[in-house]
Amino acid sequence: MITKSSGWRLFHEIRKIDGGTDAVGNLKMLHPDCHRNARALRHSVVEPAYSL
């Protein structure tokens, strides 16, 4: 469940320090471990393709 106590984080695809914004298109919800890895390894976050 995504709650404040479960630790999920908002991830800015383009960091605010690098000119990113809080626009919906720049934000992703990530599990805490995934958030740390994405930042530490400088990974991008890709959304899964929707199936029709």
Q: For residue range 1-52, what is the model confidence (pLDDT) as tens digits?
A: 777 788 888 888 888 999 999 999 989 888 888 878 877 777 666 666 666 6
pLDDT score, position 20 = 92
pLDDT score, position 22 = 95
Query: What is the pTM for the complete model shown?
Result: 0.62
- Strands 27-30, 9-12: pairing is antiparallel
pLDDT score, position 48 = 66
Burial of 9 (0-12, 13-18, 19+ CB in 10 A): middle
Q: Are 17 and 23 in contact (CB under 8 A)?
A: no
Spell out the residues 6+ positions from residue 13 whose beta carbon is closer than 8 angstroms to its own. 20, 26, 27, 28, 44, 45
